[in-house]
Structure 1
Amino acid sequence: MKRKMRSKQKEIVHVSEVRVRFVETDPLGIVWHGNYIQYFEDGREAFGRKHGISYLDQKEHGFATPIVKSSTDHKLPLRYGDVATIKTIYVDTPAAKMVFRYEIYNQNQQLVCTGETIQVFVDKIGEGDLSLNIPPFFMEWKQKVGLLDE
């Protein structure tokens, strides 16, 4: 049975918050650029827990999803003590991968960073082979969240 992609809903969004810790800042008190990737992961993990597709869910089905590409675009700095809002956006694709986009805002609702990560499915049970087809559990998840027609 072949499933068609819906044209209505192509993205699923989750919003979470993180407080900037002292250890994440440089000597000027601003967040070191490499820590934004960690904030992306914080948002992705919160997304996964909320929508039932966490790393533990993937592991339970015998898969891991390593990141094969990441990008960031810095606009404004975050500083120690700031509370940042992470908007994590799952972007649907017909390929066997997970694409997430991110928007990070400061407490004044100013956009400070955007980015994207791409993850692929790797079989944890065998040799760690790349899955060229969407795993059944992920197709079921897409259907459950309304990304596929019945």
Structure 2
Amino acid sequence: MFEAETKVRVRYAETDQMGYVYYGNYAMYYEVARVEALRNLGLAYKALEEMGVMMPVLECKSNYLLPGKYDELLLIKVKIAKFPAVKIVFEYEVFNEDNQLINKGETTLAFINMKTGRPCRMPEVMKVLMEPFFES
């Protein structure tokens, strides 16, 4: 299993009239966390695109438990529990500054060949980087 963490400060523009994180912004936080997770793995998303592979989101789930608030520093934990093939599933847990779990989410992305627009397998370089996290 691969795990990573990143932190995001809630900006004023990301809140609603109540000062709470607007629900749609959690998808953006998920994106920040997964891009940083891949970078921590040793593979920038930009490098994937340069290899001719893109990763569109197929599904996004979010469970709102407590509100995130303006100027809080949120901790986003990312987990890849299953070894990817043509699809990759990222699981997220978002914690506030009091270490309270405020949001849980999941995104499913596909590996797509940018030239053909068709699904493809995870790039070999990514496979090599991920294998150590899934050895039993």
Match of 1:123 among 113, 116, 131: 113
Deviation of the 1:99 alpha carbon: 0.9
In the alignment, which residue of structure 1 is the partner of 2:21? 31
- Provide structure 1 residue ranges, at least 5 long, that are not aligned to the other structure: 1-10
Structure-1 separation of matches of 2:86 and 2:15: 36
Moved segments of 4+, more than 4 Å: none
Structure-2 separation of matches of 1:48 and 1:54: 6
Q: What do you get for the CA RMSD once the two structures are aligned?
A: 1.6
Deviation sequence 1:57-95 (CA, Å, 0-9, x none):
211221001110110000000111111100011222353
Structure-2 separation of matches of 1:86 and 1:17: 6
Q: Give the structure-1-normalised TM-score.
A: 0.83
- Provide structure 2 residue ranges, at least 5 long, that are not aligned to the other structure: none
Q: Is the 8 A contact 1:61 1:137 kept in 2?
A: no
Match of 2:2 among 7, 12, 24: 12
Identical aligned pairs, as a percentage? 31
With over 3 angstroms needed to count, the CA separation of the structure-2 counterparts of 1:12 and 1:74, relative to structure 1, is: same
Q: Give the structure-2-normalised TM-score.
A: 0.91
With over 3 angstroms needed to count, the CA separation of the structure-2 counterparts of 1:66 and 1:41, relative to structure 1, is: same
Deviation of the 1:54 alpha carbon: 2.5
Deviation sequence 1:72-127 (CA, Å, 0-9, x none):
00000011111110001122235321110000000000000000001111001x22
Matching of residue 51 in structure 1 with residue 38 in structure 2? no
Matching of residue 141 in structure 1 with residue 129 in structure 2? yes
Of structures 1 and 2, the larger Rg is shown by 1
Q: Secondary structure of the residue that 2:31 maps to in structure 1? A: helix
In the alignment, which residue of structure 2 is the partner of 1:111? 101
Deviation sequence 1:9-62 (CA, Å, 0-9, x none):
xx1111111110000000111110000111111111111111123311211221
With over 3 angstroms needed to count, the CA separation of the structure-2 counterparts of 1:78 and 1:94, relative to structure 1, is: closer
Match of 1:91 among 77, 81, 86: 81
Deviation of the 1:148 alpha carbon: 4.9
